């Protein structure tokens, strides 16, 4: 199994993105984001996406190099049009603008339409946290991700509609980065391909009955993934609706529906300049106190410690930056093939 | 069982609050909020609270009539000091200021410290929604609600840390109003008093083992309520940490911890003026489309329809405004006794 350093992975990605027609600075931004997803352990949002992105560029769905334009703006807010460029480029532009506006006004909200897939949402909230901000972000899927059932429903009507939050923390940022569904579709696919069962509470079949058979998600008509919450899944459903509205209705890009639309991520970013409220040290002291307080809970049976939100990702990142990133043979082969087809020769 | 009209209940509450030393305008604000909680079906946040509030006024914990002061302010943000007045008075002031600032700047954030219990959080996000705003709100408990276990932990370290969202909807606002724990403590208490079991997935005993015995929450040391999420309860835990930081660290009021502190609600309100992004009609059209889309899902076995977040509350409100509010004998007797002790004679 190939093991790549962060820098090698990033450089490979950048070369392929250049070959796809991305301007050099944008290729670097996208390569950064994808390599960062891999290094944080979110392999589903890293290198593996290149082959899909290449197809989308070739079909005209992604329009590399198109500038992000400002549709409406006030000192504290903006509605941006991503011009169907790579979502990573658009999201970075949105966060940079959000930081600038929050520094000036104390708080800012940036809403984005006409953007492709932005990858891992936590990438952008952490970017804001490292600039001293508290940040809440959501994305929806415009109605092209009808995989998650509404609470009480029997078919997929919503996307996995994630929400992310980050803020400065004692050693590293606190990072919340969760889907409002029990799981992402990719995890169900992995189980199906491996011939394994899904845990109880993940899925329903296309009649709305609880199921542990991953194949039930891929029947015609399809089954669905449940909103998260277990016995109180109306809460996960409620959050999914919130995410869909904050992302899709505020930007005008559109919420989940059953018509046909262009696949993409409508985005919502809200940033708070902490120092407009309390001194940074006071904020950090409370976050540290909270962390120490919850981590002092004696671990329940089956657990060895309590992890703060984001700690699993940051630990994986430390390990992979030190030891390298393992890439499975299938993904690696697909990536090399994609690179070759674009005239890029890579060596591990 | 006494059945009261909304207006009668509101008037009774207002008279008792006046007798407790609230200025007339503030007594009306608090009475409105409590009666609105009852009418929406949240009886745990209505009339039943008066006896506790009376004790808190008498002990000096609640300081009726104290003005809310501005600690720091920018055109889009404010940090408020509630002066330990009733939380309902402080929260209404915060929302009014948030609406004004969001109208001017497109977005606003109001952070609040030194406030007592605000009651039902959804009361305030709906207030903002009725003014054309999208609103996200959170409150914590300063460390005086250590009832909810961190994910992987075995004792209570967090409060129920609720989050609420509201925005304009086609007929009525969309309202998300959820705790980040599986349930509120009151529901466990009701089961214990009735000698009933708790559903699986609600509780752990004081060794961290899953429990269905409500009494396990009241042992010494206590068991704990789980964060919501079932198989993925790390998500509910992550949201609880987010709520604690947004409410307690940004305001400087404090996050959950194990020291002694004054019981209260630190508050976070973020408001967005929708029209600074898209025309109100376009926003409403997408919310309506989303509502119709999810409600068209064929109900799963055991369900007869799909309800949007907030619909159960709004339906109860319609019914109770028409038919009156049933108050159980115990709560009613306690309320009459409390009124009488303050020299207020009430008739049903």
Instruction: Indicate the pLDDT class of residue B348, thresholds 50, 70 and 90.
Output: low
Q: Give me the torsion for CA of B250, B251, B254, B260, rounded to 10°.
A: 180
Interchain proximity A105–B75, CB inside 8 Å: yes
The dihedrals phi and psi of B227, each to the nearest 5 degrees, come to: -65, 150
Q: CA of B77: which chain A residue's CA is closest?
A: A106
- C-alpha distances (whole Å) from B15 to each of B30, B45, B293 are 11, 18, 46
Strands (E), chain A: 3-4, 69-73, 77-81, 107-113, 133-139, 163-167, 174-178, 203-204, 210-211, 224-225, 267-273, 325-326
Round the CA-based radius of gyration of chain A to a whole number and report it: 20
Q: What is the pLDDT of residue A348?
A: 53
The nearest CA of chain B is from the CA of A2 a distance in Å of 31
Sign of the Cα torsion A310, A313, A316, A321 reads: negative
Name the architecture of domain A66-182+226-296. 2-Layer Sandwich (3.30)
pLDDT for B260 beyond 80: no
Contact B228 A249 (CB under 8 A): no
User: CB–CB of A109 and B111 under 8 A?
Assistant: no
Contact across the interface for A77 and B106, Cβ inside 8 Å? yes
Whether the pTM exceeds 0.95: the reply is yes
Comparing CA positions, the residue from B91, B129, A42, A246 lying closest to residue A238 is A246
ipTM over 0.95: yes
Among A165, A232, A240, A310, most B C-beta atoms within 10 A, so best to mutate, is A232
- Of the candidates B72, B105, B76, the one whose C-alpha atom is nearest the C-alpha of residue A279 is B72
Find the residue in B nearest to A283 (Cα).
B249
What residues in A contact B286, CB-CB < 8 Å? 245, 248-249, 252, 254-255
Tens of pLDDT, residue by residue over B164-179, are 999 999 999 999 999 9
Q: Residue B263: what pLDDT? A: 83
Q: Residue B136's pLDDT band (boundaries 50, 70, 90)? A: very high
Phi-psi map region of A176: left, alpha, beta (phi>0 left; psi -120 to 50 alpha): beta
Nearest Cα to Cα of residue A325 among A60, A48, A57: A48
Per CB-CB distance under 8 Å, the chain B contacts of A289 are 254-255, 257
Rounded (5°) CA angle B126-B127-B133: 80
Contacts with A296 from chain B: Cβ below 8 Å: 157, 258
Q: Which residue in the set B74, B306, B308 is minimally distant from A106, CB to CB? A: B74
Contacts (Cβ under 8 Å, ≥6 apart) of A98: A108, A109, A110, A128, A133, A135, A269, A270, A271
- Distances in Å between the Cα of A113 and the Cα atoms of A14, A19, A60, A68, A81 are 25, 26, 17, 10, 5
Mutate to test the interface with A, among B135, B230, B257, B305 (most CBs of A within 10 A): B230
Distances in whole angstroms, Cα of residue B311 to Cα of each of A115, B127, B134, B286, B324: 32, 16, 17, 18, 19
- How far B58 CA lies from chain A's nearest CA (Å)? 31
B160 has a pLDDT exceeding 60: yes
Does B201 sit within 8 Å of A231, measured CB to CB? yes
DSSP lists the bridge partners of residue B137 as B164, B269
| pLDDT attached to residue A161 | 97
**pLDDT of chain A along its 348 residues, tens only?**
899 999 999 999 999 999 999 999 999 999 999 999 999 999 888 999 999 999 999 999 999 999 999 999 999 999 999 999 999 999 999 999 999 999 999 999 999 999 999 999 999 999 999 999 999 999 999 878 899 999 999 999 999 999 999 999 999 999 999 999 999 888 898 899 889 999 999 999 999 999 999 999 999 999 999 999 998 999 999 999 999 999 999 999 999 998 777 889 999 999 999 999 999 999 999 999 999 999 999 999 999 999 999 999 999 999 999 999 999 999 999 999 999 999 998 875
Report which of B228, B223, B209 is spatially closest to residue A302, judged by C-alpha positions: B209
CA distance B22 to chain A (A): 29
pLDDT tens digits for B199-229?
A: 999 999 999 999 999 999 999 999 999 999 9
A294 CB neighbours in chain B (<8 A) are 150, 153, 157-158, 241, 256
Does A66-182+226-296 match A1-65+311-348 at the fold level? no
Of B228, B238, B249, the CB nearest to A176: B238
Query: Across the interface, do B277 and A200 touch by the CB < 8 Å criterion?
Result: no
Residues of chain A in contact with residue B299, where contact means CB-CB under 8 angstroms, are 152-154, 208
Picking from A152, A249, A270, the nearest residue to B270 by CB comes out as: A270
Q: Do A76 and B256 touch (CB under 8 A)?
A: no
Cβ within 8 Å, pair A293-B245 = no
The partner residue sitting opposite A106, judged by closest CB among B77, B153, B201, is: B77
Strand partners of residue B49:
none
Long-range contact set of residues B127-131: C-beta below 8 Å, sequence gap at least 24 = B127/B92, B127/B95, B128/B95, B128/B98, B128/B99, B128/B166, B128/B269, B128/B271, B129/B166, B129/B167, B129/B168, B129/B169, B129/B173, B129/B174, B129/B175, B130/B168, B130/B173, B131/B99
Q: What is the DSSP letter of A157?
A: -
Instruction: Describe the strand order of the beta sheet including A174-178 as a list of residue ranges.
Output: A69-73, A77-81, A107-113, A267-273, A133-139, A163-167, A174-178
How far is Cα B268 from Cα B136, in angstroms, rounded to an integer?
8
Pick the CATH number of B68-182+226-296 from 3.40.630.10, 3.40.30.10, 3.30.1370.60, 2.40.50.140: 3.30.1370.60
Residues B294, A165: C-beta atoms closer than 8 Å: no
Q: What residues contact residue A340 under an 8 Å CB cut-off, 6+ apart? A: none
Q: Which of A107, A155, A230 sits opposite B230 (nearest CB)?
A: A230
> Which helix (H) or strand (E) element contains residue A287?
helix A280-295
- pLDDT per residue as tens digits for the range B264-298: 999 999 999 999 999 999 999 999 999 999 999 99
Q: Give bridge partners of residue B72 from the DSSP assignment.
A: B79
CA–centroid distance for B313 within its chain: 13
Question: With an 8 Å Cβ cutoff, are A248 and B209 in contact?
Answer: no
Fold observed for domain B1-65+311-348: Hypothetical Oxidoreductase Yiak; Chain: A, domain 1 (1.10.1530)
Q: Tell me what the mean pLDDT of segment B64-89 comes to.
A: 98
Phi-psi group of B307: left, alpha or beta (phi > 0 → left; psi -120 to 50 → alpha; rest → beta): beta
DSSP A97: H
Instruction: Note the pLDDT of residue B223.
Output: 96
Chain B residues with CB under 8 Å of A167 CB are 245, 249
Report the first-to-last Cα separation within chain B, whole angstroms: 11
Q: Does residue B152 surpass a pLDDT of 90? A: yes
- Indicate the average pLDDT of chain B: 95
DSSP 8-state secondary structure symbol assigned to residue B132: T
Q: Do B238 and A297 touch (CB under 8 A)?
A: no
Asked if the Cβ–Cβ distance from B235 to A248 is below 8 Å, we say no
B238 by DSSP, 3-state: which? helix
- Closest CB to B241: pick one of A176, A232, A256: A176
Main-chain dihedrals φ then ψ at residue A148, nearest 5 degrees: -110, 130
Task: Give CA–CA dist B9/B327, Å, rounded.
Answer: 10
Q: Are A136 and A247 in contact (CB under 8 A)?
A: no
Closest CB to B150: pick one of A79, A254, A297.
Answer: A297
Of A182, A244, A294, the CB nearest to B150: A294
DSSP string, B8-61: HHHHHHHHHHHHTT--HHHHHHHHHHHHHHHHTT-GGGTGGGHHHHHHHHHTTS
Tokens of A329: 């043979």
Domain boundaries, chain B: 1-65+311-348, 68-182+226-296
Q: CA of A11, closest CA in chain B: separation in Å?
A: 34
């Amino acid at each position: 199994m190939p093991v790549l350093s962060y820098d090698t992975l990033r450089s490979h990605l950048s070369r392929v993105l250049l070959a796809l027609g991305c301007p050099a600075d944008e290729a670097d931004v996208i390569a950064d984001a994808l390599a960062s997803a891999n290094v944080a352990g979110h392999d589903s949002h890293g290198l593996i996406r290149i082959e899909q992105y290449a197809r989308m560029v070739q079909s005209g769905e992604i329009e590399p190099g198109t500038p992000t334009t400002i549709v409406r703006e006030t000192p504290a807010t903006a509605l941006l049009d991503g011009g169907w460029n790579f979502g990573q480029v658009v999201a970075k532009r949105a966060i940079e603008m959000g930081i600038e506006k929050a520094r000036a006004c104390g708080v800012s909200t940036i809403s984005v339409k006409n953007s492709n897939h932005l990858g891992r949402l936590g990438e952008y909230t952490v970017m804001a946290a490292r600039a001293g901000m508290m940040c809440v972000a959501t994305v929806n899927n415009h109605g092209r991700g009808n995989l998650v059932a509404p609470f009480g429903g029997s078919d997929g009507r919503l996307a996995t509609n994630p929400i992310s939050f980050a803020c400065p923390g004692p050693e590293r940022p606190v990072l919340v980065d969760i889907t409002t569904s029990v799981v992402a579709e990719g995890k169900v696919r992995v189980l199906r391909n491996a011939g394994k069962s899904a845990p109880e509470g993940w899925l329903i079949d296309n009649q709305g009955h609880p199921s542990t058979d991953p194949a039930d998600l891929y029947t015609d008509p399809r089954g669905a993934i449940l909103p998260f919450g277990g016995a109180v899944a109306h809460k996960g459903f409620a959050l999914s609706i919130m995410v869909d509205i904050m992302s899709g209705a505020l930007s005008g890009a559109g919420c989940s529906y059953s018509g046909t639309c262009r696949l993409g991520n409508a985005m919502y970013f809200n940033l708070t300049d902490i120092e407009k409220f309390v001194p940074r040290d006071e904020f950090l002291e409370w976050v540290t106190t909270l962390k120490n307080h919850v981590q002092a809970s004696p671990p329940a049976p089956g657990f060895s410690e309590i992890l703060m939100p984001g700690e699993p990702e940051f630990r994986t990142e430390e390990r992979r930056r030190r030891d390298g990133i393992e890439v499975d043979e299938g993904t690696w082969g697909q990536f090399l093939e994609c690179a070759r087809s674009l005239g890029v020769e890579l060596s591990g």
